[in-house]
C-alpha cells in the first residue's frame, strides 16, 4: 500500500501517522506539502492531526482551502481511500467531504486521554480487521471534537451505517458518561456515503505500538494494507 500524508502548516501528527503507516505497509508514505497542486498516485491519502493554520478562523477551515485540497477532493470522489484524524477530520468536514460540524468540547477544555470506542461496523476498508461491536481503546487529544449533526442527518448516518465509532465505557456501553466531548449520539468517527472516506477524532496511530500502552490502532492500518495492497 502506498500512502500520502498531507502536511499543512501546523500539522503535528504527520510524522506519527507516517510511522504507523510505514510500520504496517513497509512502505514510506509520500509527505505532500499543502502548497502542491497534486497528490502522487497513491492508495491512501491521510490528513494528519495538529493545528493547521493555528486553528485560526475555525479548525480546519483554512486548510480546507489549501491548494492541495482540490486534488484530495477529486481523488476522494474517484474512490481513493482518505483518512482524516483529529484536525484531519475537521479539514474533511470543512471541505464538504463529510457532513456535520465539530464544535468546542462541551467542557470547553482540551482533553487528552485514552477513550473506549465501539466499532459500529466492520464493513469498511478501515475497520475490516475489527468485529462489529468490538470495544477498542484509542487516545483523543482535542479541544474541538464535539461532533454535531442535525436530527435528520444523524438518522441518515445511522440508516446508511456510516457511523464508524462511538465513545463507550469500559463495559462497551454507549453512555452519556462515556462521551468525552458532547458529540451527538457519542459519534467519534463517520464515513462518507461511498465508505472510502473516514474522519475520526481519536488517534489510532497513537496506540499502534505496545510500548506506547496498547496496539488497538494497529488493526486499522493492517486492515488498510490488506484491502489496498
Partner 1 sequence: MSEPNPEITDALVAEHGLNAEEYARVLEILGRTPNLVELGIFSVMWSEHCSYKSSKKWLKTLPTDAPQVIQGPGENAGVIDIGDGQAAVFKMESHNHPSFIEPYQGAATGVGGILRDVFTMGARPVANLNALRFGDPGHPKTRHLVSGVVAGIGGYGNCVGVPTVAGEVNFHPAYNGNILVNAMTVGVAEADRIFYAKAHGAGNPVVYVGSKTGRDGIHGATMASASFDEDSAEKRPTVQVGDPFTEKLLIEACLELMATDAVVGIQDMGAAGLTSSSFEMASKGGSGVALNLDHVPVREDGMSAYEIMLSESQERMLMVLKPGREAEAKAIFDKWDLDFAIVGELTDSGRMVIQKGGEQVCDLPIDPLAEAAPEYDRPWESTPAQPDLTADQVPAHDPAQALQTLIACPDLCSRRWVWEQYDHMVGADTVQRPGGDAGMVRVHGTDKALAVTVDCTPRYVLADPVQGGRQAVAEAYRNITATGAQPLAITDNMNFGNPEKPRVMGQFVGACQGMGEACRALGTPVVSGNVSLYNETGETAILPTPAIGGVGLLDDLSKMATVAFKADDEAIVLIGETHGHLGQSLYLRELCGREDGPPPPVDLEAERRNGDFVRELIRGGWVTACHDLSDGGLLVALAEMAMAGDRGAAIQPPEQAAPHAWLFGEDQARYLVTAPQAGDILQAAQAAGVAAYALGRTGGPALKLAGGPSISLQRVRAAHEGWLPSFMSAAG
**Residue 110 lies near partner 1 (rule: CB under 8 A):** yes
Alpha helices in 31-86 (DSSP H): 67-78
Kind and range of the H or E run holding 26: none
Residue 116 Cβ, how far from partner 1 at the closest point, in Å? 15
49: Cβ–Cβ under 8 A, 6 or more apart, which residues? Answer: 11, 12, 13, 16, 17, 85, 86, 87, 88, 141, 203
Nearer to partner 1, 128 or 135 (CB): 135
Nearer to partner 1, 35 or 155 (CB): 35
Can you give the C-alpha Rg of the chain in angstroms? 16
Please confirm, yes or no, whether 86 is among the known catalytic residues.
yes
Q: Which residue has the cell 485560526?
A: 56
Determine how β-strand 3-7 pairs with β-strand 30-33: parallel
* Local structure of residue 118 (DSSP, 8 states): E
Question: Which one among 1, 5, 47, 53 touches partner 1, defined by CB under 8 A?
Answer: 53
Please confirm, yes or no, whether 65 is among the known catalytic residues.
no
Nearer to partner 1, 14 or 43 (CB): 14
**Residue 61 lies near partner 1 (rule: CB under 8 A):** no
Residue 63 Cβ, how far from partner 1 at the closest point, in Å? 12
165 contacts 201 by C-beta, under 8 angstroms: no
Please confirm, yes or no, whether 122 is among the known catalytic residues.
no
**Which is the catalytic residue, given 13, 59, 86, 168?**
86
Q: Which residues are the active-site residues?
A: 86, 203, 205
Question: Which positions touch partner 1 (CB under 8 A)?
Answer: 9-10, 12-13, 15-16, 19-20, 33, 35, 49-51, 53-56, 109-113, 139, 141, 143, 203, 205-206, 209, 211-213
Amino acid at each position: 500500500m502506498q500512502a500520502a500524508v498531507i502536511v499543512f502548516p501546523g500539522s503535528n501528527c504527520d510524522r506519527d501517522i507516517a510511522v504507523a503507516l510505514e510500520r504496517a505497509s513497509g512502505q514510506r508514505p509520500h509527505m505532500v506539502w499543502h502548497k502542491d497542486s497534486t497528490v502522487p498516485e497513491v492508495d491512501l491519502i491521510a490528513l494528519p492531526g495538529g493545528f493547521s493554520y493555528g486553528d485560526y478562523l475555525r479548525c480546519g477551515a483554512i486548510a480546507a482551502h489549501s491548494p492541495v485540497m482540490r486534488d484530495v477532493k477529486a481523488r476522494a470522489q474517484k474512490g481513493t481511500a482518505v483518512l482524516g484524524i483529529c484536525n484531519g477530520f475537521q479539514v474533511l468536514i470543512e471541505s464538504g467531504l463529510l457532513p456535520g460540524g465539530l464544535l468546542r468540547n462541551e467542557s470547553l477544555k482540551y482533553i487528552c486521554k485514552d477513550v473506549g470506542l465501539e466499532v459500529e461496523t466492520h464493513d469498511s476498508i478501515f475497520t475490516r480487521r475489527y468485529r462489529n461491536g468490538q470495544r477498542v481503546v484509542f487516545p483523543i487529544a482535542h479541544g474541538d471534537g464535539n461532533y454535531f449533526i442535525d436530527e435528520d442527518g444523524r438518522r441518515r448516518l445511522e440508516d446508511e451505517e456510516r457511523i464508524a465509532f462511538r465513545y463507550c465505557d469500559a463495559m462497551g456501553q454507549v453512555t452519556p458518561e462515556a462521551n468525552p466531548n458532547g458529540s451527538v449520539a457519542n459519534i467519534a468517527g463517520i464515513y462518507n456515503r461511498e465508505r472510502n472516506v473516514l474522519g475520526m477524532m481519536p488517534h489510532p496511530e497513537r496506540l499502534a505500538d505496545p510500548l506506547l500502552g496498547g496496539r488497538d490502532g494497529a488493526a486499522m492500518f493492517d486492515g488498510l494494507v490488506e484491502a489496498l495492497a
